[in-house]
Structure 1
């Protein structure tokens, strides 16, 4: 009798564990807040597969279908639906299937990373404007204001606003920073480059490792951009909007690519348009 009672107690203790061990079926689809439903990549994925299969991703209400080797991880969207794309500089073509597995410095420095961000509830121009004009907050630090930068001569459709390190150092000295602090060095900051339309409205914002940092950190070997022996890599962040899709686009690439900014922007825009599966969806009012 006592044995039966003990066995019963053991079973009672094990039941919760057995319930926890039972796994629910893995969902094969995922729907985001804007109602876009994508097919998830479930189970082991083969980044080396050729031809690369199409994988689905959502951009707000829009469904995209993109060959998996275009994705930064070369297997598709992450489990939460987030994703980025990666192209090779200067060709702006995708990496070969599986080439980004075991990412090396050489592959990293010639990567053009593209992030598409759907902007909901506010006008898509707002985050673009905040990238170069923070309003009252810009008075807190000279690097955040166009007025406290050094405007240069326009080139390639861009107007440069160089960092003024004299103003930067003066500001941070007054705030108790030591001369040896990293923020007192040019490499901690960025030069800005703005493109405007015919009406003077800012369309594109590019922020790059400043001109005071003369070493690009890269060189060419056998026609490929690779890391050189110096420390660090000069890079740019490129921001623009696709207004009709309420989308803010952020691109990162080696600073050498700034001269080809229009080509890079057009490539990112065209890739988005070509990947849309439900192009008939209307933008939010």
Structure 2
């Protein structure tokens, strides 16, 4: 009897070991990620601390280019998403990164102060071709007055850019012919964009800034001591600003309040420096061992 009991106890003790042996081995955590263009970045694994100060360096890929920035520059303040996608965020008016952890539980007024930055690479189209496509009517709506320079109201240069204001009367007539009612959002000033462009010596668009129509009088915010504060629940007048880093085949997209359009050059320059200044030179190891020419890689 004692022998039987001992055998049963031994069997019970061995069952968990047998169960573990049947489970497949866990796949090791990938410490790097390589994109289609051959850029390899170090992944962040384990718990992330957006409040870490000084902020640790995190890597991101834009096409074949490897960038390395303090994590508080990222819009989520911890680095790239799991698939490698990312956006950057600067705080107006300093145009510096938010302090570590400041964007966790982002308030409306903090969002108003945010300058959004995105980089996109294409090995199929050049940046100038992409900007041209954005300003050209598409096959599904070839008569669209919102995708054509010729259907817009051209006026004298402003802020060093050529304005092409949306013709709302023309827009509304176009959509009424399609059976769209006047109460639909596409008929509202707030849903339509004015364009401000610049061209290269060959006459190709190299900069396209789309801003909420000038006919949307209330921007949805007010300024106090140089800081914007939300005043309306009905949206915000904003700009979407695209320009080319032609040598890198990269289009940079900025997002900011419409009132900041006169500062477009400063905002664009800052975004361009973020890319070039934080690019890791080929052959440099993890968390780069050299500083860029303008010292960007040192700063937070």
TM tier relative to shorter chain = 0.7 to 0.9
Cross-structure match for 1:201: 204
Relative distance call for 1:186 and 1:223 in structure 2 (3 A) is closer
Q: Say yes or no: does 1:102 pair with 2:105.
A: yes
Which of 114, 117, 121 aligns to 1:118? It is 121
- Return the alpha-carbon distance in structure 1 between the equivalents of residues 275 and 168 of structure 2: 38
Relative distance call for 1:137 and 1:51 in structure 2 (3 A) is same
TM-score normalised by the chain length of structure 1: 0.88
Relative distance call for 1:18 and 1:257 in structure 2 (3 A) is farther
Cross-structure match for 2:253: 250
Cross-structure match for 2:86: 83
Query: Secondary structure of 1:142's match?
Result: coil
Cross-structure match for 1:227: 230
Which of 265, 278, 292 aligns to 1:275? It is 278
Query: Secondary structure of 1:139's match?
Result: coil
Relative distance call for 1:171 and 1:50 in structure 2 (3 A) is same
TM-score normalised by the chain length of structure 2: 0.83
Q: How many residues align?
A: 270
Q: Where do 5+ consecutive residues of structure 1 fail to align?
A: none
Relative distance call for 1:222 and 1:169 in structure 2 (3 A) is closer
2:132–2:204 contact (8 Å) kept in structure 1: no
Relative distance call for 1:24 and 1:229 in structure 2 (3 A) is same
Which of 191, 214, 217 aligns to 2:220? It is 217
- Return the alpha-carbon distance in structure 2 between the equivalents of residues 212 and 224 of structure 1: 23
Q: CA RMSD in A?
A: 2.3
Q: Say yes or no: does 1:19 pair with 2:23.
A: yes
Relative distance call for 1:235 and 1:17 in structure 2 (3 A) is farther
- 1:169 CA displacement: 1.2
Task: Summarize the alignment of residues 49-198 of structure 1 with structure 2, pairs less than 5 Å apart.
Answer: 49-134=52-137, 139-198=142-201
- 1:153 CA displacement: 1.4
Query: Secondary structure of 1:239's match?
Result: strand
Larger-Rg structure: 2
